[in-house]
Copies of this chain bind each other. A is one copy, B any other.
Amino acid sequence: MDIRTKFAKLGTRFAPGQEVRLEAAAPDRERMEPLPGTPVDFSHGDVDAHPPTPGAFEAFTAAVEIGGAQAYTEYRGSAPIREALAQRLTRFTGAPVDAQDGLIITPGTQGALFLAVAATVTAGDKVAIVQPDYFANRKLVEFFEGEILPVQMHYAGATDSAGLELDQLEEAFRAGARMFLFSNPNNPAGVVYSAAEIAQIAALAARYDATVIVDQLYSRLRYSGVPYTHLRAQDIAPENVVTIMGPSKTESLSGYRLGVAFGGAEIIDRMEKLQAIVSLRAAGYSQAVLQTWFAEPEGWMERRIAAHQVIRDDLVALFRSIEGCSVRLPGAGSYLFPELPPLSISPVDFVTALREQAGVTVTPGTEFSPHAARSIRLNFSQDHAAAVAAVTRLATLVERYRT
C-alpha cells in the first residue's frame, strides 16, 4: 500500500484532544448567540477535578533520586515493579500473572494496545472488532493492513449484558478471523460484558484457536451492583489472551503515560521486541508511579467511584429529559454515549456548534462506529457542577437545532 493511502485512513481530525487544530467553522450568524458558562472538555477526564492518586508524585520523585538504575530499565520495564504488579494483577483478575515473562510496562494503555495489535496482526489478517468500540482499535488494525470483520453490540437494547451479537462473532471466526479485540467495560458505551458473554467469548476463542486482546482500562471503576468477569480467569488458553490496563483514567495518572499488558508470553515477548524500536521503554522515572497502583489509601477508590456515580446519575437524568434522546446507564467507567434526536444540521456540524457556541467539547459517535452518527461520547470525569451546567447548555443547543 502506498504510504499516502495508508495514512489517509489514519485521520485524527475528530480525535479527542485535537480540537485545537480544527479551523473555526463558517459562522452560522443567526444562531451563533453563545451560551455562557465554564467550558468543559468531555473528550477526556479532568485530572484537576479528580486529582491523581496520592503518593504518585512522591514515587516519581524517589525514582529521580535513585537515578540511572530507574532511568534505564529493561524494555519491558523495571523487574521489581513488574514483580509487585504481577501479584496485584493476579489478585485483581483471579488468574496468575508471570512477572518475568508475562507482563510488560508500556507508555500508556495506548502503547500497550499498539504493541499488542502490532504483535498479532499482519497484512491481510482478519480481525473481529466490536461496533461501537474505542476508535483506535479500528485504526490500529487498518494501519497494519488487517481486514476488519465488524461485530455489532446492541448496547442500547440490552440490560444485564453488553448486547454483543455473539453469532456475528462466531461468524467472524468462521470467516477466518484469528484475533478479537475489544474493550470491557466498553468504550464508548460504558457497558460491562456479562459473565455469560465472557464465557461465550472464551468458548469461541478456544474453538477457533483465536487470540483475544481485551482492553480493561476501566475495569476498576465499577458502579454499585455491577458484576465484572475477567476473561483471562475463564476457560481459555492463557497464551491466547492479553489483558491491557493502566492508571491513566480512574487514577488520573495520564500525565505520566503508563500502561501494562499481561498474558501470553510469546505475544508479550514480541511486544517487548517491538517496544525496543518504538520508544525503548515507558519513561523510567514514571514506571515507579506504578508502585502506587492497586495500593491506594484505604477508601480512596470507593470515594472516587462514588464521586463519579453521582455525576453519572445527574447527567443521565439530564440526557433523558431531552425529548427523543436515549442513553443507557453506564455500569462502569466514565463514558456516556447518548443518542441525540434528529437535528437540522449534520452530527459533525452539531459537535462543532456545541464547541463554538456552548464551550462544550464532545467526541462524535462515528469515531466509534459507522452506525452511531447520532451519538456523542462524553467523558464525565469532570467537575460535577461544570458538567451539569455544560450538559444543560447542550440540551439548549439540541433545541436550537431540533428538526
A residues adjacent to B (C-beta < 8 A): 1-3, 6-7, 10-12, 15, 17-18, 20-21, 44, 46-48, 51, 57, 60-61, 63-64, 67-68, 70-75, 79, 106-108, 110-111, 113-114, 119-123, 125, 136, 139-140, 143, 254-257, 270, 272-274, 276-286
Between A7, A140, A284, the greatest number of chain B beta carbons within 10 A of the residue's beta carbon is seen for A7
Q: How far is the CB of A290 from chain B (nearest CB, A)?
A: 13
Known pairs A3-B122, A47-B68, A256-B283 / 12 extra A-B pairs, C-beta < 8 Å = A12-B273, A15-B75, A18-B75, A44-B72, A47-B71, A57-B61, A57-B64, A110-B279, A111-B278, A114-B278, A254-B284, A257-B282
Q: Which residue of B lies closest to A256 (CB)?
A: B283
Please tell me which one of the listed residues B2, B73, B79, B108 contacts residue A280 in the complex, with CB atoms under 8 A apart.
Answer: B108
Docked-complex contact B107 and A283, CB < 8 angstroms: yes
Q: How far is the CA of A348 from the CA of B125 in the complex (A)?
A: 37
14 A-B pairs with CB atoms under 8 Å apart are: A3-B121, A3-B125, A7-B119, A17-B75, A18-B74, A18-B75, A20-B74, A46-B68, A47-B68, A113-B277, A255-B283, A257-B279, A257-B282, A286-B286
Chain B residues, CB < 8 A from A2: 122
Please tell me which one of the listed residues B106, B136, B139, B286 contacts residue A283 in the complex, with CB atoms under 8 A apart.
Answer: B286
Q: Which residue of B lies closest to A71 (CB)?
A: B255
Q: Which residue of B lies closest to A269 (CB)?
A: B7
Q: Which residue of B lies closest to A112 (CB)?
A: B279
Chain B residues, CB < 8 A from A140: 277
Q: How far is the CB of A146 from chain B (nearest CB, A)?
A: 11
Q: How far is the CA of A60 from the CA of B10 in the complex (A)?
A: 31
Contact (A15, B282) CB under 8 Å given A3-B122, A122-B2: no
Q: How far is the CB of A30 from chain B (nearest CB, A)?
A: 32
Q: How far is the CB of A40 from chain B (nearest CB, A)?
A: 12
Chain B residues, CB < 8 A from A121: 3
Please tell me which one of the listed residues B74, B113, B136 contacts residue A21 in the complex, with CB atoms under 8 A apart.
Answer: B74
Q: How far is the CA of A123 from the CA of B15 in the complex (A)?
A: 27
Docked-complex contact A7 and B273, CB < 8 angstroms: yes
Docked-complex contact B47 and A17, CB < 8 angstroms: no
Docked-complex contact A122 and B1, CB < 8 angstroms: yes
Q: How far is the CA of A79 from the CA of B63 in the complex (A)?
A: 28
Q: How far is the CA of A2 from the CA of B278 in the complex (A)?
A: 20
Q: How far is the CB of A3 from chain B (nearest CB, A)?
A: 5
Q: Which residue of B lies closest to A122 (CB)?
A: B3
Docked-complex contact B75 and A274, CB < 8 angstroms: no
Docked-complex contact A276 and B12, CB < 8 angstroms: yes
Chain B residues, CB < 8 A from A120: 3
Docked-complex contact B277 and A114, CB < 8 angstroms: yes
Q: How far is the CB of A12 from chain B (nearest CB, A)?
A: 5
Q: Which residue of B lies closest to A63 (CB)?
A: B255
Q: How far is the CB of A168 from chain B (nearest CB, A)?
A: 25
Docked-complex contact B1 and A123, CB < 8 angstroms: yes
Q: How far is the CA of A286 from the CA of B51 in the complex (A)?
A: 18
Q: How far is the CA of A283 from the CA of B283 in the complex (A)?
A: 8
Contact (A143, B274) CB under 8 Å given A255-B63, A255-B71: yes
